[in-house]
Amino acid sequence: MNVKRNSLLSLFLTIVLLSTLILSSAVSSPALAAPTAQPDAPQDIVQLQLVASGLARPVDLTAPTGDRARLFVVEKTGYIRIVTVANGVYTLLPTPFLDIDLLVGSGGNEQGLLGLAFHPNYAANGYFYVNYTNNSGDTIVARYRVSTGNPNLADPASAQQVLFVDQPYSNHNGGQLQFGPDGYLYIGLGDGGSGGDPQDRAQNTGTLLGKMLRIDVDSGSPYGIPANNPFVGPGNPLDEIWALGLRNPWRFSFDRLLGDMWIGDVGQTEWEEVDLEPAGDPGGRNWGWRCQEGTHIYDTSGNCPTDLSVLDDPVYEYSHSEGCAITGGHVYRGSPNSAYFGQYLFADYCAGNQLRTLTYTGSAWVRSTHTLAPPGGLSLSRPTAFGEDAIGNVYAMDDLNGATPNSGEVYLLRLRPATCVSGNYDLNGDGQIDVVDIQLAAGDWQRPDFVPDYDVNCSGAVDIVDVQSVAAAWIGTLVE
């Protein structure tokens, strides 16, 4: 048996170390999975680290795939700023990556430059996409390209309009952009504004308002329609629609491990909701607005189905006794040794210094509430958005509602264990030890910016011993 084990180990190590396929994130799993290691229980207090300050209403944060050295922060007034990361030190660059202030209308509290998504192949094509309201208050999704010769500057002349949506009111613009695991661009749009969806747009499949859209930016001009979109066909419903019945999906995200879509849909006067669409879902879901607010009847006139049981319920809702507007977040995948690994993180715009999490118990998602602790007497007053960097760290943004100009802040949620946790070989936390885990360790071998979780023996560095240990653990599962 030892001869067989050693032969397999040698073979697989050779394959892994010669391979250039070093994965930056895990593939989707068909089932909800938990890490094999038993983490410590979550703490009531989550420490924050100040990353950047002096920002003009930050509302989004992301990074290109594999870019560990930079964060890109969206300022609602029309700028994208870069924060560099080196040895744990964050530095806000003075020159914006992109300045489209003259194109952006940000007079309304829910207007402005609202979303940013880098093309999955950004390293090769330099494309990124922005979502903003123009000076007439209408939604524009546009593609830009990074400039030639300076990776920290975009080319403002490279703009190509991808989508235009007329906005009847100044609020409920949505604004989030995300590339899904399928490589398509998802666009969250609110119901058009006012209150109570007066024109019943969210249930009207002849308009893009109140919908989640899914388009193919790599085909067609300016985009194509994925052949398996749920409503593809002539006439109404519109082909771009992926899901309907949304009031204002201000922030949504994809679980970088499982591929599930999470939507924080801002409610009307009584209920806030969290919607969950599993990876591999065929689309076409109806999240209920305005027929329902959360799971509660709101207005069943107009376009509502006769049978309300066909509507999709949220996995979690809370009343306005606990807040005023949900700030959707992310499933935390930064560290498989963290107590928060696999939990959905979110907040409420009116509940400062508070983090809320949903944990799956096997039958339901259960909420916990934690206190956020900014340093030096600072306060996360208006949690307006969350963002992820290239390795899964989660950041929170403080909008401050424009009360004081250029007073917005970005904080890192310090969710990684303070000390190394040894012996966890399931590096991506998908419930099994396999070649993906070996590739993750190999990818960080001898890198100065390694992820500490991949230092499986806690030696202080990721080296060949860590790769061998993970490979040996995998072989052990094969020959048991």
Structural contact between residues 84 and 69, judged by C-beta atoms closer than 8 angstroms = yes
Q: What is the pLDDT of residues 390-434, one digit of tens each?
A: 999 999 999 876 667 889 999 999 999 888 888 999 988 888 999
pLDDT at 250: 98
pLDDT for 300 equals 97
- Report yes or no: 464 and 442 within 8 Å, Cβ to Cβ: no
SS3 162: strand
pLDDT of residue 209: 98
| Average pLDDT of the residues of the chain | 90
145-149, 310-314, 334-338, 355-359: least confident range:
334-338
Q: Kindly tell me the burial class for residue 1, based on how many C-beta atoms sit within 10 Å of its own C-beta (0-12, 13-18, 19 or more).
A: exposed
How sure is the predictor about 363, in pLDDT bands with cuts at 50, 70 and 90? confident
Query: Residue 347: beta bridge partners?
Result: 327
Give me the residue label for tokens 């830009």: 144
- The whole-number pLDDT of residue 242 equals 98
468, 474, 404: which is closest to 441 by C-alpha?
Answer: 468
**Residue of 295, 278, 201 lying closest to 247 (CA atoms):** 201
Residue 19 has a pLDDT of 44
Q: Is the Cβ–Cβ distance between 393 and 68 less than 8 Å?
A: no
Write down the pLDDT at residue 36: 31
With a cut of 90, say whether residue 347 has pLDDT above it: yes
Count Cβ atoms within 10 A of the Cβ of residue 254 and give its class: 0-12 exposed, 13-18 middle, 19 or more buried.
buried
Position 315 confidence tier, pLDDT thresholds 50, 70, 90? very high
| Predicted local confidence at residue 478, as pLDDT | 82
Statement: residue 56 has pLDDT above 80: yes
Instruction: Return the higher-pLDDT residue of 179 and 439.
Output: 179
The beta-strand segments (E) located in 40-167 are: 45-55, 58-62, 70-75, 79-86, 89-92, 98-99, 113-118, 127-133, 139-146, 154-165
Instruction: Encode pLDDT of 63-119 as tens digits.
Output: 999 999 999 999 999 999 999 999 889 999 999 999 999 999 999 999 999 999 999
**What SS3 state is found at 122?**
helix
What is the pTM assigned to this prediction? 0.91
Q: In angstroms, rounded to a whole number, what is the distance separating the alpha carbons of residues 116 and 76?
A: 11
Q: How confident is the model at residue 13 (pLDDT cuts 50, 70, 90)?
A: low
Q: How far is CA 369 from CA 58, 250, 326, 356, 357, in A?
A: 24, 21, 14, 5, 6
Q: Which helix (H) or strand (E) holds 441?
A: helix 435-443
Instruction: Give the model's pLDDT for residue 2.
Output: 55
For residues 424 and 337, is the Cβ–Cβ distance under 8 A?
yes
pLDDT score at 20: 37
Confidence category of residue 35, pLDDT binned at 50, 70, 90: very low
pLDDT in tens, 439-455: 989 988 877 777 778 89
**How confident is the model over 3-8, as a mean pLDDT?**
51
User: What residues does each domain of the chain span?
Assistant: 2-37+419-479, 48-413
Helical spans, DSSP H, in 314-434? none
What does the block give as tokens for 206? 């002849």
pLDDT at residue number 26 = 36
- Per the model's pLDDT, the better-predicted residue between 32 and 169 turns out to be 169
CATH topology of domain 48-413: Neuraminidase (2.120.10)
In three-state secondary structure terms, 477 is helix
- Lowest average pLDDT, out of 46-55, 307-316, 369-378, 435-444, goes to 435-444
Share above pLDDT 70 across residues of the chain, in percent, rounded to a whole number: 90
What length is written for the chain? 480
For residue 452 the two structure tokens come to 């500490």
pLDDT tens by residue, 215-266: 999 999 999 999 999 999 998 999 999 999 999 999 999 999 999 999 999 9
Question: Would you state the pLDDT for residue 294?
Answer: 98
Which two structure tokens, joined as six digits, stand for 473?
């653990």
Residues pairing with 264 in the sheet: 251, 274
- 49 confidence band (pLDDT: 50, 70, 90): very high
Q: DSSP letter string over 248-275?
A: ---EEEE-TTT--EEEEE--SSSEEEEE
